[in-house]
Amino acid sequence: MTALDAVSIITAKRDGGELSDAQIHWVVDGFTRGTVADEQMSALAMAIVWRGMTRREIAAWTAAMIDSGQRMDLTGLPRPTVDKHSTGGVGDKITLPLAPVVAACGATVPQLSGRGLGHTGGTLDKLESIPGWRADVPVSRMRDILADPRLGAVVCAAGADLAPADRRLYALRDVTGTVESIPLIASSIMSKKIAEGTAALLLDVKVGSGAFMKTLDEARELATAMVELGTDAGVRTVALLTAMDTPLGRTAGNAMEVAESVEVLAGGGPADVVELTLTLAREMVALAGLDTDPADVLADGRAMDRWRAMVRAQGGDPEAALPAAKHTETVLATTDGVLSRLDAYGVGIAAWRLGAGRARQGDPVQLGAGVVMHAKPGDAVTAGQPLLTMHTDTPEAFAGAAAALDDAVTIAPTTAEPIPLILGRVGC
Ligand code: URA
């Protein structure tokens, strides 16, 4: 075999070539060990953004990222494992009510989650607003929680040895404009999910202004790539394509999204959050081979009991008051009419500018910051009524956040057709 080197791999992809399995393994392994430099991996990532990858290349890239670390072993647990992954959106707090609902239906939910970056929120940041709650759970404790019939679900950070190549590559992509690539996103997500060892996986692929994928065609292509990777690795995988032009629910911000999730578990909450939670839960329960109706465990309080037990198992106090921001400012409707557009990206940027999100990995977030939405698309509004309330500890952030919200709102004379929440499905 001829010797491999980073420059010829970069130029091969730059010129539209197909990389061999050996080249892919060599470059991912070298990058993980530090012998392929960050600038070389950045150049290769940019070449992949422009030239794409074949199905075989994506599979080899994913396998190389899995091989960069350890696989978790979730075999031998008493109930079937099923996980959910969302490609990320604004106000997407669905994991919080979903994990206890699915666990209460009899499945085991190993939910390795991430932190927010840019305009999209992160499940771990949201849960960390619960006093005492800890995202770091050692693998042995994770197994104990999953095996416990009163718990059966854990939402925690992935260990450092789970697909470490992805951790390094994701940080690099984030600062080199190379996040938006279907092969790179699919392999990033699926390397972590396959290494985690779940038997079944539901993917929630977001489509719209607040998502990575802006069109249904792109989202379907990403969903298909991920379902193929999962299925080829022996993980029963289904993807739903769901709308992300408007934020989910009525809040975008860490503590306020926890409060909204608890409302859902208590039998209330916004209709779109309830609908998406139950739709995803039904898919997960079916993937796990069970037949309990998730609506029943939500209605009779079993999901809420599970939530409280899960929060306590990770050190949190489910009854404690959640953090609130020190300052608020409200945006009013400028005219009478119907709210015809509330743009997810604009609301996400506003929440981020208020301090709910981070600009760089490792930055702190403000747990109480965010945006409360008093009206959603389709609602009639009158001039002067409160539309959106901004919350922050840093009032100098109001001007930038208000500018993002200004561009995010349209009030029209008449109602527009509502966009359905569920836009498509890929997989078995
Ligand atoms: N989430 C991931 O884990 N990776 C990506 O590349 C994009 C979203």
> Domains along the chain?
6-52 (1.20.970.10), 82-313 (3.40.1030.10), 327-412 (3.90.1170.30)
Q: Which secondary structure element, helix H or strand E, spans residue 355, and what is its range?
A: none
Task: Provide the CA 164 distance to its chain's centre, in angstroms.
Answer: 19
**What pLDDT does residue 117 have?**
66
DSSP string of 293-310, one letter each residue: -HHHHHHTSHHHHHHHHH
**What pLDDT does residue 416 have?**
74
At residue 162, does pLDDT exceed 80? Answer: yes
d(CA 319, CA 304): 12
Confidence of residue 310 (pLDDT cuts 50, 70, 90): very high
Confidence of residue 103 (pLDDT cuts 50, 70, 90): very high
Which protein residue has the closest C-alpha to ligand 1 atom 5?
185
Cα distances (Å, whole numbers) of residue 398 to 125, 247, 253, 402, 403: 21, 20, 15, 6, 9
When pLDDT is averaged across residues 237-247 and rounded to a whole number, the result is: 97
pLDDT tens sequence across 110-145: 999 988 766 777 999 999 999 999 999 999 999 999
Confidence of residue 415 (pLDDT cuts 50, 70, 90): confident
Cα 159 to averaged position of ligand 1 atoms, centre (Å): 16
When pLDDT is averaged across residues 59-76 and rounded to a whole number, the result is: 96
Contact 355, 116 (CB under 8 A): no
Cα 185 to averaged position of ligand 1 atoms, centre (Å): 5
d(CA 72, CA 328): 44
When pLDDT is averaged across residues 384-411 and rounded to a whole number, the result is: 97
> In a mutational test of the pocket of ligand 1, which residue from 170, 184, 190 has the highest number of ligand atoms less than 8 Å from its CB?
170
- Which ligand 1 atom minimizes the distance to the CA of 184? 6
Confidence of residue 67 (pLDDT cuts 50, 70, 90): very high
**What pLDDT does residue 349 have?**
95
> What's the predicted TM-score (pTM) here?
0.95
Question: From the CB of residue 298, how many other CB atoms can be counted at a distance below 10 Å?
Answer: 25
When pLDDT is averaged across residues 292-302 and rounded to a whole number, the result is: 97
**What pLDDT does residue 360 have?**
74
Contact 191, 65 (CB under 8 A): yes
Question: From the CB of residue 29, how many other CB atoms can be counted at a distance below 10 Å?
Answer: 16
DSSP string of 70-133, one letter each residue: PPP--TT-SS-BEEEEE---TT--THHHHHHHHHHTT-BEEEEE---BTTB--HHHHHTTSTT-
At residue 251, does pLDDT exceed 60? Answer: yes
At residue 279, does pLDDT exceed 70? Answer: yes
> In a mutational test of the pocket of ligand 1, which residue from 175, 179, 203 has the highest number of ligand atoms less than 8 Å from its CB?
179
pLDDT tens sequence across 77-100: 999 999 999 998 999 999 999 999
- Edge-first strand listing for the sheet containing 82-86: 82-86, 200-207, 236-243, 422-427
At residue 1, does pLDDT exceed 60? Answer: no
Euclidean distance between the first and the last CA atom of the chain, given in angstroms as a whole number = 40
Residue of 226, 217, 269 lying closest to 248 (CA atoms): 269
Mean pLDDT (the chain) is 95
Task: Provide the CA 118 distance to its chain's centre, in angstroms.
Answer: 12
Query: Dihedrals φ, ψ of 113, to 5°?
Result: -125, 170
Percent of the chain with pLDDT over 70: 99
Which protein residue has the closest C-alpha to ligand 1 atom 3?
189
**What pLDDT does residue 2 have?**
63
- Edge-first strand listing for the sheet containing 251-252: 251-252, 370-373, 386-392, 327-332
At residue 391, does pLDDT exceed 70? Answer: yes
Which protein residue has the closest C-alpha to ligand 1 atom 2?
189
DSSP string of 129-176, one letter each residue: TSTT--S---HHHHHHHHH-TT--EEEEEPPTTSSHHHHHHHHHHHTT
Confidence of residue 363 (pLDDT cuts 50, 70, 90): confident
Reduce the DSSP state of residue 258 to 3 states and report it. helix
Strand partners, 410: 341
d(CA 354, CA 324): 13
d(CA 372, CA 137): 31
Residue whose structure tokens are 């985690």: 196
Percent of the chain with pLDDT over 90: 90
Query: Dihedrals φ, ψ of 356, to 5°?
Result: -75, -25
Query: Which residues are catalytically annotated?
Result: 85, 166, 173, 188, 192
When pLDDT is averaged across residues 175-194 and rounded to a whole number, the result is: 94
